[in-house]
Amino acid sequence: MKHTAQLADGRDLFYFDDADTALGPERRVDARVLDPRPVTATMRQDVLTGDWITVAAARQNRVFLPPADQDPLAPQTPANPSEIPDVYDVAVFENRSPSFGPALASDADDPPRGLDDLADLGLGRTRTSVGRCEVVCFSPEHEGSFGTQTESRARTVIEAWADRTAALSAMPGIEQVFPFENRGEAIGVTLPHPHGQIYAYPYVTPRTTRMLDAADRLGSGMFEDILQFERASERVVLTGEHWTAYVPFAARWPIEVHLVPHRHVPDFAATDEEQRAELAPLYLRLLRGIDALYDSPTPYIAAWHQAPVNVGRQAVRLHLQLTSPRRAVDRLKYLAGSEAAMGAWVGDIPPETAAANIRKAIESV
């Protein structure tokens, strides 16, 4: 069940209830008095690469590791004027300090918002960072991650991802929708509350552009070919009827796992009942296995790659890319000269060794 509301400054808020929820249908109104929303950030073009860099100064003011009684993602209390007015199972709301938006491509017709020429190159080019950024709260609890949720709750989050992917994809100027979870202070997380985010970009991201280029060279069946290649290898760590997880042949990170559906779907909105039903327990098992590699929780980025809204729908398959810089119990991989400056990666652990370690950890949970 989905309930739609608004926050005090006009931002959208959506409640998604578990199938076995104990909550009623009513939700309290957000009665806070809030400052106006920040103006939409500006993108600047790097003429050497063609990449667009968003400069979002308002993000400097976001909350940093607050105590539990001031958690901005917990349900509001008289002592904690948080972002969510009432109790919830899963809640999704517009980010107060977004990298993209709140303006959309149709909100005004001044020249900086024009997006038709993003592929052109030139010195000093700027555009308004139209789009949308949303926060997805997996639980009202102060600490945790996706992997600490129940199977019912995991399924609710998947339904929220599908709902928001469809809605964001239909907004003017949106070219790609990206759900993700950052987990752990080593990744730069500033809130321990179990949550993820969804970015809706006004362009096709650089990584996806490279995928599309590869599909042009290898054919639209590229992801099916990759899946069959990996499923025949010793790098598979977990498999089901509809999904397979594996360490990729050319993994960059000490821990890197891809989770791919067997049937081609471009995004969460296109997944069917069987795929969603299996994904909830399978994804939980994978994340809990990643945590079991060491005696403390593993920092990671869980990136759900989806096809662009308007191009490459048959070429780019929905898939998870889960990465962690943790290369030993007390060591992290830092991106130094070769990786950070030149994009020339050096792997620390053979993918086959990493896969064996992850399979053993998954079997232990």
pLDDT at position 83? 97
Last residue of a domain, one of 203, 225, 244: 203
pLDDT at position 57? 87
pLDDT at position 62? 75
pLDDT at position 54? 97
Tokens linked to 193: 């509350």
pLDDT at position 264? 98
> Mean of the pLDDT values across residues 166-181?
97
- Rounded mean pLDDT of the chain? 95
Last residue of a domain, one of 182, 203, 224: 203
Confidence of residue 143 (pLDDT cuts 50, 70, 90): very high
pLDDT in tens, 245-292: 999 999 999 999 999 999 999 999 999 999 999 999 999 999 999 999
Kindly state whether residues 214 and 117 are assigned to the same domain.
Answer: no
Confidence of residue 61 (pLDDT cuts 50, 70, 90): confident
> Mean of the pLDDT values across residues 311-332?
96
**Pair 171, 201: CB distance under 8 Å:** no
Per cent of the chain over pLDDT 90 is 92
pLDDT at position 112? 52
Kindly state whether residues 228 and 144 are assigned to the same domain.
Answer: no
- Position 295 pLDDT exceeds 80: yes
Last residue of a domain, one of 162, 184, 203: 203
Kindly state whether residues 250 and 282 are assigned to the same domain.
Answer: yes
Q: Which of 108-117, 209-218, 318-327 has the lowest mean pLDDT?
A: 108-117
Confidence of residue 116 (pLDDT cuts 50, 70, 90): confident
Q: Give the domain range for residue 339.
A: 207-363
pLDDT at position 60? 77
Kindly state whether residues 264 and 331 are assigned to the same domain.
Answer: yes
- Position 107 pLDDT exceeds 80: no
pLDDT at position 113? 54
CATH number at residue 35: 3.30.428.10
Kindly state whether residues 30 and 110 are assigned to the same domain.
Answer: yes
Q: What is the 3-state secondary structure (H, E, C) of the chain?
A: CEEEEECCCCCEEEEECCCCCCCCCCCCCCCCCCCCCCCCCEEEECCCCCCEEEECHHHHHCCCCCCHHHCCCCECECCECCCECCCCCEEEEECCCCCCCCCCCCCCCCHHHCCCCCCCCCCCCEEECCCEEEEEECCCCCCCCHHHCCHHHHHHHHHHHHHHHHHHHCCCCCCEEEEEEEECHHHCCCCCCCEEEEEEECCCCHHHHHHHHHHHHHCCCHHHHHHHHHHCCCCEEEECCCEEEECCCCCCCCEEEEEEECCCCCCHHHCCHHHHHHHHHHHHHHHHHHHCCCCCCCCEEEEEECCCCCCCCCCCCCEEEEEECEEECCEECCCCHHHHHHCCCCCCCCHHHHHHHHHHHHHCC
Kindly state whether residues 165 and 211 are assigned to the same domain.
Answer: no
Kindly state whether residues 228 and 252 are assigned to the same domain.
Answer: yes
Q: Which residues are catalytic?
A: 195
Kindly state whether residues 93 and 29 are assigned to the same domain.
Answer: yes
pLDDT at position 174? 96
- Count other C-beta atoms under 10 Å from residue 111's C-beta: 9
Confidence of residue 300 (pLDDT cuts 50, 70, 90): very high
Residue type, position 144, single letter: G
As a whole number of angstroms, the longest Cα–Cα distance in the chain is 59
- Position 332 pLDDT exceeds 90: yes
Q: What region, left, alpha or beta, does residue 297 occupy, with left being phi > 0 and alpha being psi -120 to 50 degrees?
A: beta
Kindly state whether residues 124 and 211 are assigned to the same domain.
Answer: no
pLDDT at position 291? 98
- Position 111 pLDDT exceeds 60: no
Query: On the CB side of 25, how many CA atoms lie within 13 Å of its CA?
Result: 2
**Global pTM value:** 0.96
- Position 203 pLDDT exceeds 90: yes
Confidence of residue 64 (pLDDT cuts 50, 70, 90): confident
Instruction: Report how many domains make up the chain.
Output: 2
Kindly state whether residues 248 and 132 are assigned to the same domain.
Answer: no
Kindly state whether residues 273 and 299 are assigned to the same domain.
Answer: yes
Kindly state whether residues 51 and 88 are assigned to the same domain.
Answer: yes
- Position 114 pLDDT exceeds 70: no
